[in-house]
Structure 1
Amino acid sequence: MIWIIGGTSEASILSRKIEDVDDFVITSATESEEEFIDLNKLIVGRMGLEDMLNFVEEKDISLIVDLSHPYAKIVSENARKVSKIKNIMYIRYVRKKSEIPSNAIYLKTYEDCIEYLKNISGTVFFTTGSKNIGDFEKIRENNRFIYRILPANSSIEECKEWNVAMKDIVAILGPFSIDFNKSMFKEYNADYVVMKDSGEAGGTLEKILACNELNILPIVIGREKEDGIDDLDEIEKIIRNQKKKGE
């Protein structure tokens, strides 16, 4: 069995490419991929290291294909550990980094972003999802923080846990065009837009260009360089070759 770790739009693209392959399964931490992936192949739920080890045993996994989000570092770290412990082949899909213009504030980590935000005033529009809402809320003070999140139960619950007002929640599924971003940033009178460097598939460029047209300061949280494959066609070939070996 081939295990595809989802969490990105590329996971659904890959699943369509190999839909004729019977023996693969896709996992996702949240229900957001249920609309895009064959539910017979999809298993939803968060997994730690022990869960992953048990999953590999239960499903008799022979290949791990990691298409988790570029910022889901723990997921990838655990998947690599599982591959070593179980002596299973592991391949990682890596999104290409974005070309960040000089007018954007580029910060290496979430911690750097939090330190930067401690010294600003105004309205900040976050497009970084729900995971770090608690960290941001701790330093909000008198500023207005708007969170654009997935319309998933887990995301809404995270907002509720940190008492985020409903007027400060935008629950919607992307990707978004430049014009759509402009309309939204303008509607909320954003002074800053915080984003991850999620690459082309994550709409980073569209967010930055929208900010530029509205004279809003874009704040980009960077990511570490990661070894892997940036071509889904190449990953498809590896999967099909692995399948042939197992026949």
Structure 2
Amino acid sequence: MSLTGIFPIDKWNFKSQSIFSNLPDEEYGLLCANKQEQTYEKGEIIFKEGGIPAGIYFIKHGKIKKYKADRDGREQIIYVANTGEMIGYHAILGEDRYPDSAAALEDCTLHFIPKEDFVAAMERSPILTQRLLKALSHEFAVLSNTISVFAQKSVKERLAIALIVLREKYKDDAVAGEPVQINISRTDLASIVGTAKENVVRFLKEFKEAGIVNSQGRKIQVLDINRLIEISNYTN
């Protein structure tokens, strides 16, 4: 089921998928000259906050959590990046260290592009620079929207929004004719919502009893997306 007209999903998802699409051959060749394919197992760290960036990552397959951790190691997941998206480029554009950490939510395959190649392609390609600036602008709007909305919502409403957004991210993995399955730990889900794991478990049980979701282990199926949107109390 499409969310068009019933939930503004674009306000919750980054748009880095098309940055490399249809670039001139020369610029694309620069980007791919020393490209490396890397695999990460679920839970494996890709980069850590404060680290010095050596390049950028294009997600060939899988999902990556971008998060910040406090002094006690408690995580706040700020975004889940999906297949086709790029991560790690903000630090290079800002000539700074990584502002957050990234780890695999599931087994992932990434393409690593060295910093020097990325910068060389960017300096040569006005198209790439324009797309990067557009993507950065949209990402800022997404993060601002998330912070603003979550600050005003109850835990139950935030969980409903998180499930709506995650369902959209897992749609491409679904088998035709079968419900979309969100595969995420309760700990990570609580980290997205910004609450204790116990609250997520309690509200998921409530949603399940109401026939809104079904769950088994890590896997959550959204059975009634319209009811979730009602609970989220967020439609624009």
* TM-score, normalised by the number of residues in structure 2: 0.30
Query: Larger C-alpha radius of gyration, 1 or 2?
Result: 1
User: How does the TM-score come out when normalised to structure 1?
Assistant: 0.29
